[in-house]
Amino acid sequence: MDLTRASATDILDALSRRQLSAAELMRATLDRIAQVNGEVNAIVALRDEDALMAEARAADAASPRGALHGLPIAVKDLVNVAGITSTQGSPLFKDHVPQTDDLLAARLRAAGAILIGKTNTPEFGLGSHTFNPVYGATRNPYDPTKTCGGSSGGAAVALATGMLALADGSDMMGSLRNPAAWNNVYGFRPSWGRVPSEPVGDGYLHQLSTLGPMARSPEDIGLLLDVISGPDPRMPLSTEVERVSPVQAADLTGMRIGWLGDWGGAFPCEEGILALCRDALHVFEERGARVEALAPPFDADLIWDSWITLRSWSVAAGLEPLAKKKSSLKDTAQWELERGLALSAMDVHRASVNRSDWHKRAVELFEDYDALVLPAAPVWPFELETPYPTEIKGQGMDTYHRWMQVVTPVSLLGLPCLGAPVGFGAQGLPMGMQLFGPRGADARILSIGAAYHSATLWPQKRPAM
């Protein structure tokens, strides 16, 4: 078994059967990191090798602790992990070593995972391009002169290059979907509330960001999703859930898939992206589904206005304790902080009314369609030195994140969404699509994704490194 290419499902099965030792797996993981991480800079704050090997040997000697027993995982650097430098990509926290685990890290550890370090992220997770002043930029393994996306960019690159078999991420504005697309892997944004956030501060008002899994198949995503899912009594809106694993490929016969394209021109896309996504939908048609092109179901401007208000409000709430150190924050964080602090309660109310109206329209759509599809990104991976695109096909972008507007219909409603690879463009760079359904349909979306994956196996086309 090539441990840098094998699925997490197969690796964990071999570990449970004692056909593979955690020490052997750790050795292979560390060797792969040494081989490729210097070029891509995806894994940061890597723990001491001797300590990791000792922990792996201890796992071999112990009774299995959970579903991930003996599996090495690096945690996104927005999550505090006990004993590992946890920076959020900010110089303000470059020496921060937590004494306790955040909830997600605790759940990984309780399931038997060995936490080896961190995956790189933009400063405070802002922006779909993974670079920060602490660790620098993470490079796209298919072209190291290009961005890998973000904010779960380090996680996606670690998966694409075989340094990890599973990875966690988070998603407010496409942070699980955009890097999955640009690194030819899968990222899953769960229904909001399925995976609770850290129980710090407000637990009621901010329903935009969520934690979620990344992997090289929907089946592997199901494994990690079950580990990190489930209510926490300290988080009032976290929900009881049913297991999704083992994920079984759905029978697509008779399913109706709605193709939203560029939302009637509201989401301009660079050349080749829409065609590549539409080609991917032929896989569904070949397996008995009916794919229909849809007119824009709701005003994109209303979605955007609601989104940027609720996002700035949420981001500013998180950054407000750092307001006195604002000059130490990157420009986009300063922009969000200033904008959020200037909002009135009625601004937030009106944004929530728009969100509620879009929700009601989406409910009607899902009465007729099993799933809807959008591109996962409107541009191909851009140059590493470019902070963010300022125009798409001649259309100017009026904010640092307007270029990722294509993800907002999903994010605004907290819908379950699988970021799935769709192949490669003319320059050999990967792209992906968003496959999403009604809130609570996580298992259904993953099973549809598994049927698609079995027919395409895109993540097996690995970068040449």
pLDDT-derived band at 465, boundaries 50, 70, 90: confident
Which two structure tokens, joined as six digits, stand for 128?
A: 């779909």
Kindly state the percentage of the chain with pLDDT values over 90. 99
Count of other CB atoms within 10 angstroms of residue 427: 11
Q: What is the pLDDT of residues 306-356, one digit of tens each?
A: 999 999 999 999 999 999 999 999 999 999 999 999 999 999 999 999 999
Which residue type is seen at 328? S
* Spatial contact of 77 and 132, defined as CB atoms under 8 Å apart: no
What is the Cα–Cα distance from 116 to 29, expressed in whole angstroms?
10
pTM metric for this prediction: 0.98
Strand order in the sheet with 72-76: 43-44, 114-119, 72-76
User: What does the angle CA 326 – CA 327 – CA 332 come to, to the nearest 5 degrees?
Assistant: 75
Distance CA 435, CA 417 (A): 5
3-state secondary structure of 67: coil
Distance of alpha carbon 151 from alpha carbon 164, whole angstroms: 17
Q: Is residue 253 very low, low, confident or very high in pLDDT (cuts 50, 70, 90)?
A: very high
Average pLDDT of the chain is 97
The residues, ordered by sequence, that sit 6+ positions from 57 with a Cβ below 8 Å of its Cβ are 22, 23
What is the rounded distance in angstroms from the CA atom of residue 358 to the CA atom of residue 300? Answer: 10
Domains of the chain: 8-460 (3.90.1300.10)
At 126-174, the pLDDT tens digits run 999 999 999 999 999 999 999 999 999 999 999 999 999 999 999 999 9
> Exposed, middle or buried, 385 (CB in 10 Å: 0-12/13-18/19+)?
exposed
pLDDT digits (tens, 9 = 90+) for 103-123: 999 999 999 999 999 999 999
d(CA 217, CA 235): 30
Residues in a beta bridge with 33: none
For the chain, the distance separating the N- and C-terminal CA atoms, rounded to the nearest angstrom, is 19
Token look-up 């401007």 returns 301
Distance CA 99, CA 427 (A): 46
pLDDT digits (tens, 9 = 90+) for 407-443: 999 999 999 999 999 999 999 999 999 999 999 999 9
Mean predicted confidence (pLDDT) in 243-267? 98
Helical (H) or strand (E) element with 441: none
Contacts (Cβ under 8 Å, ≥6 apart) of 268? 262, 378, 392, 393, 395
Q: Rounded distance, CA 421 to CA 73, Å?
A: 22
**Cα–Cα distance list, 329 to 80, 91, 333, 360, 411 (Å):** 19, 9, 6, 38, 25
Task: Tell me the per-residue pLDDT of 88-100, one tens digit each, with 9 for 90 and over.
Answer: 999 999 999 999 9
pLDDT at 177 over 90: yes
pLDDT tens, residue by residue, 36-48: 999 999 999 999 9
Q: Counting Cβ atoms within 10 Å, is residue 368 exposed (0-12), middle (13-18) or buried (19+)?
A: exposed
Distance from C-alpha of 442 to C-alpha of 188, rounded to nearest angstrom: 9
Give me the helices (H) in 111-246, please.
153-160, 177-183, 218-228
What Rg value do the Cα atoms of the chain yield, rounded?
21
pLDDT band at 85, cuts 50/70/90? Answer: very high
Per-residue model confidence (pLDDT) at position 206:
96
Q: List pLDDT tens digits, range 198-212.
A: 999 999 999 999 999
Q: What is the pLDDT of residues 378-393, one digit of tens each?
A: 999 999 999 999 999 9
In this structure, what token pair is assigned to residue 319? 């950054």
Is a pLDDT exceeding 90 seen at residue 450?
A: yes
